[in-house]
Amino acid sequence: MNPVLRKNVLLLLLCLLVTCADLVWQLPETDVFLTFRLPRVLAAVCAGICLSLCGLVLQSLFRNPLAGPFLIGITPGASFATGLLLLVFPHGLGGGLLQEIGLAGAGMAGGMLVLLLQLRLSRGMNGLFALLLTGVMLSYLLGAGVEIMETFAGAEQVRSFVMWGQGNFDRVQLQQLWIFGLFSAAGLVAVFMLRYQLDAWLPGEHYARNAGVNTGTLRITTIWLTGMLAGVTTALCGPVGFVGLVAPHLARLQTKSNRHGTLLFPVMLWGILLCALADLLAHHLFGKFTLNVNAVCAILGAPVVLWTLWKTRLSD
């Protein structure tokens, strides 16, 4: 068997093992399983797909290994927009489909606006750390905006903000999964169709243009794509960091390749594995105590980011 294929099969089996363990660990009653456990685990799978694909496209777009939906500011932008919607419409948008579309739309709009701002700022900056610095500053600015909104919110709204801002998959309901799954599948198909254009983009915009790529269209398409993937995930699950940053690095380490066609499947699997493992540890590591999934993702992903920074420092 081809070594790359063998590694992908082993990774797939590991994903299935962790996901099944998350599903059947201390198996609850049937009603509880269908209402809470199953939607939570499936939401972790969808989030892993969306965030990992988003990170892969962003790192290619900026040609920067530190680019990710959280550190670049897309996730905080989506959080700010979703929080603003919850503040303006404390009782929702009438419930049902309109409510879900409104939350997803707000998240996508906030993420896209921040990404547009990052693209504008990155034109006058060079180096790996410039993007990280502007992303951190934007995250602080948007986080301050959320805190100001919490000051003017009522008690119930503050509680909703705090619970939503922790980043967990528990809030995703069974009827919301079709929206989440649809976005995940659309993102996967879109990245697959863009794989050759993204390959041509890696050596530089001038090379991509000479290769026949419409760079303006590609840039706009990737903005819509990454804003959609990160925005809908943040709107439904809250801010979940490090998955989009770490999954592409682990896939490149596994495949020893930068080709998007080769990376696509392992990137998706690493994203699923990280989210499913974080959910498993968050809910079952300390018994009755439930941890913040975002915090568990940080513990799992921070060492990979530190390793990337250390490797970059050695290569300079």
Domain edges within the chain: 3-11+38-309
Cα distance between residue 135 and residue 183, in whole Å: 25
pLDDT digit string, tens, across residues 193-212 = 999 999 999 988 889 999 88
| Total-model pTM | 0.86
Give CATH superfamily name and number for 3-11+38-309. ABC transporter involved in vitamin B12 uptake, BtuC (1.10.3470.10)
> Between residues 186 and 134, which one has the greater pLDDT?
186
Cα distance between residue 36 and residue 43, in whole Å: 11
Cα distance between residue 76 and residue 80, in whole Å: 6
pLDDT (0 to 100) of residue 56: 95
pLDDT (0 to 100) of residue 116: 82
pLDDT (0 to 100) of residue 21: 92
Over range 54-77, report the average pLDDT.
85
Question: Across the chain, what does the average pLDDT equal?
Answer: 83
In sign, the C-alpha dihedral spanning 195, 200, 202, 206 is: negative
Look up residue 293 and give its two tokens.
């999934």
Cα distance between residue 73 and residue 69, in whole Å: 6
pLDDT at 157 over 80: no
pLDDT (0 to 100) of residue 42: 95
Cα distance between residue 223 and residue 286, in whole Å: 40
pLDDT digit string, tens, across residues 103-147 = 677 778 888 888 888 777 766 665 556 666 777 788 888 888 877
